Structure 1
Amino acid sequence: MKTIKVIFALIFALILAVTLNAQAQSIPQMKESTSMYSIQIILGEHIITGSLADTPSTRDFVKQLPLTLEFEDYGSTEKIAYPPARLTSQGAPAGVNPTIGDIAYYAPWGNLALFYKDFGYSKGLIRLGHITSGVEHLKFPGTKQATIKLISND
């Protein structure tokens, strides 16, 4: 009797694993390769560095670099600026929950966003990457011009 229970438990576990795997495969996900882009944001005398994931949206952004943009505060949470051309949202999730240091693109408005505070889920927000050092330099009042450069494509 104990052997039969073990066999049924194993069969149930196998069926559950196959079902969960099939469901996970059907959920659209943003495909990212392990390749990363390293960027530098020059903000006055401060240097901010970041890594960008290799996604279709990021590749559109990287094609525009180097860029000099005017960053302004938005909601005491992020600095935003508008790149000259819109980025694709192909393969991107419907939205993300940004955290401190996220580099993102808000597709509905066409703006780049650098988060210096956490924020809630935002539909249409696409995470491009993350600031690796210097996020504290984003807590400035008013607007500032910054130059974004590609440092390497790892």
Structure 2
Amino acid sequence: MGKGYKWTLLSILATSTFLTACGSSNNEKNIKGNDNVNTNSSTNNVVKTDKTDNQNSEDNEGLNNMQDVRVKLTCNNEKVIVKLYDNPTSRDFFDQLPLTVTFKDYANIEKISVLDQRLTTKDAPSGSDPSVGDFAYFSPWGNITLFYGDHGLSNGLIKLGKIESGVEKLKSINDDFKVTIEKLD
């Protein structure tokens, strides 16, 4: 290989590394900290939302406040209860219920299921750093996920809610499993 070719490749590699590093540090600043912070990717402005405010959004089709909204995931008479966060993606998910989906294990830290219909990513952060018990939507793949292990920062991951009970049951399920997800009265 000639010197010019090597320098061109090295220059491309350095530039892409620089751009990736800049984007990652900016994402981490927007993601870490308060779960009530959403970023607008087109302007990178941080907008705080108060989950206790009654919001009248056209996206939620009559559901004005998701402060105490829970869903039930049922598999083989076992129940997992999830409290949903108040954001456009969670409201979009809630509007699709009830659903029956098949979950499978992914990387020994989460159970995932691809949805038939993608959820909105309106006003969503560019990513998040999930923890055990998080219920989330991974927008690049169009799947919902239940975290039972630790995971690092993930671009495109939108937290939908938090598992209130039953997270310990997830780790012990090894095979694919069907789950009915429904609104909890």
- Shared fold, TM over 0.5: yes
**Matched-pair identity in %:** 42
Q: Which residue of 1 aligns with 2:45?
A: 27
For the Cα contact (< 8 Å) 1:36–1:54, is it kept in 2?
A: no
* One-letter amino acid of the structure 2 residue matched with residue 31 of structure 1: T
Tell me whether 1:43 sits opposite 2:75 in the alignment: yes
Write the distance in 2 (CA, Å) between the matches of 1:84 and 1:28: 31
Aligned length: 128
| SS in structure 2 at match of 1:138 | helix
Write the distance in 2 (CA, Å) between the matches of 1:30 and 1:70: 35
Rg larger for: 1
- Cα distance change, pair 32–71 in 1 and its aligned pair in 2 (3 A): farther
TM-superposed CA distance for 1:73, in Å, is 0.3
| SS in structure 1 at match of 2:118 | coil
| SS in structure 1 at match of 2:183 | strand
| SS in structure 2 at match of 1:54 | coil
- Cα distance change, pair 96–29 in 1 and its aligned pair in 2 (3 A): farther
Gaps (5+ residues) in structure 1?
Answer: 1-25
Q: TM-score, normalised by structure 1?
A: 0.78
Q: TM-score, normalised by structure 2?
A: 0.65
TM-superposed CA distance for 1:28, in Å, is 2.4
For the Cα contact (< 8 Å) 1:28–1:93, is it kept in 2?
A: no
Gaps (5+ residues) in structure 2?
Answer: 1-43, 53-66
Q: Which residue of 1 aligns with 2:132?
A: 100
- Cα distance change, pair 133–115 in 1 and its aligned pair in 2 (3 A): same
Deviations 1:77-135 (A, max 9, x none): 10001222101111111100000000000000000000000100000000000000000
User: Larger % of strand: which?
Assistant: 1
Picking from 97, 114, 117, the partner of 2:146 is 114
Q: Which residue of 2 aligns with 1:124?
A: 156
Higher relative contact order (CA 8 A, sep 6+): 1
